[in-house]
């Protein structure tokens, strides 16, 4: 799953990947555990803290919030 995210590339593909992961994270605990296992969180944090693109930052924040559900 983490290969869906490419912090070195800004744009629509990363935004769509973050939203897809956000939707998946809202499905169940087992899906959230899989996302954690796949080490998606460090890449998501890069989008949240390191990007100047507001939509990417918002999508990353939403994913992290869904991971806490």
pLDDT per residue as tens digits for the range 26-66: 999 999 999 999 989 999 999 899 888 899 999 999 999 99
The confidence score (pLDDT) of residue 50 equals: 86
SS3 assignment, position 27: coil
pLDDT per residue as tens digits for the range 3-24: 778 878 767 899 999 999 999 9
Instruction: Report how far residue 10's alpha carbon sits from residue 27's, in angstroms, rounded to the nearest whole number.
Output: 27
The confidence score (pLDDT) of residue 53 equals: 87
SS3 assignment, position 53: coil
Which tokens go with 38?
């796949």
Q: What angle do CA 68, 46, 3 make, to 5 degrees?
A: 85
* CA atoms 14, 18, 19, 24: torsion sign: positive
pTM: 0.87
The confidence score (pLDDT) of residue 10 equals: 67
């Amino acid at each position: 799953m983490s290969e869906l995210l490419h912090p070195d590339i800004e744009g629509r593909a990363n935004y769509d990947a973050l939203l897809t992961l956000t939707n998946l994270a809202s499905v169940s605990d087992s899906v959230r555990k899989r996302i954690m296992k796949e080490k998606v969180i460090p890449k998501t944090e890069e989008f949240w803290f390191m990007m100047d693109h507001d939509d990417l930052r918002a999508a990353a924040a939403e994913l992290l919030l869904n991971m806490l559900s």
